[in-house]
């Protein structure tokens, strides 16, 4: 969650024209990485 929060903080001051461009891509990537990391530790090794 820390990475995601830092990405959102860093991108909140991006120019308005980047709202659906670079900032959106960075935010989605941060959330996706958090999910991937969490999934790896939560799911038992046999279900992978």
Tokens 């939560």 label which residue? 42
pLDDT for 39: 84
Mean pLDDT of 12-36: 85
Residue 45 predicted with pLDDT over 70:
no
Tokens representing residue 11 in the block:
């991108």
Place 48 in a pLDDT band, splitting at 50, 70 and 90.
low
Asked whether the CA dihedral 36, 40, 44, 48 is positive or negative, the reply is positive
Under the banding of pLDDT at 50, 70 and 90, the label for residue 10 is confident
Q: Where are the domains of the chain?
A: 2-47
* Residue 7 banded pLDDT, cuts 50, 70, 90: confident
How far apart are alpha carbons 30 and 32 in whole angstroms? 5
pTM (predicted TM-score) = 0.58
């Amino acid at each position: 969650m820390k990475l995601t929060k830092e990405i959102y903080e860093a991108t909140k001051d991006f120019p308005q024209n980047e709202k659906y461009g670079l900032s959106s891509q960075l935010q989605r990537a941060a959330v996706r990485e958090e999910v991937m990391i969490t999934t790896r530790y939560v799911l038992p090794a046999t279900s992978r």
